[in-house]
């Protein structure tokens, strides 16, 4: 997951950096630093963030794999798509 994908996914959920950090069990500064690219982020931290976002209903997919046009998705500049499954509740 890239910093841009993380920001987009968080925005789909209407989560603040503080909310994502709390859900992932880390400090808000860790999320902010990752999303801004301020420093190198540990791969385990990125995995924890991605798993937290996926657990909340976000799917990270690549171009061409969006099967249902009813799903909410954001296409990023690098061609990645971030979508929110409709059957997941948003907190």
- Distance from C-alpha of 65 to C-alpha of 24, rounded to nearest angstrom: 27
Please answer whether residues 44 and 51 qualify as being in contact, where contact means their C-beta atoms are separated by less than 8 angstroms. Answer: no
- Distance from C-alpha of 53 to C-alpha of 74, rounded to nearest angstrom: 14
Domain locations along the chain: 3-84
pLDDT surpassing 90 at residue 57? no
Mean pLDDT of all residues belonging to the chain:
81
pLDDT band for 5, please (50, 70, 90 cuts).
confident
Secondary structure in 3-state letters for 40-78? CCCHHHHHHHHHHHHHCCEEEEECCCCCCCCCEEEECCC
Q: Please state the length of the chain.
A: 91
Of the options 1.10.3720.10, 1.10.10.10, 1.10.260.40, 3.90.1170.10, the CATH number for the domain spanning 3-84: 1.10.260.40
């Amino acid at each position: 997951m890239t910093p841009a994908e993380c920001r987009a996914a968080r925005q789909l959920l209407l989560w603040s950096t503080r909310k994502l950090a709390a859900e992932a069990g880390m400090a808000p500064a860790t999320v902010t630093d990752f999303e801004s690219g301020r420093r190198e982020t540990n791969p385990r931290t990125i995995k924890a963030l991605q798993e937290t976002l996926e657990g909340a209903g976000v799917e990270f997919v690549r171009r061409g794999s969006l099967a249902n046009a009813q799903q909410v998705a954001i296409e990023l500049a690098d061609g990645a798509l971030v979508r929110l499954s409709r059957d997941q509740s948003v907190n």
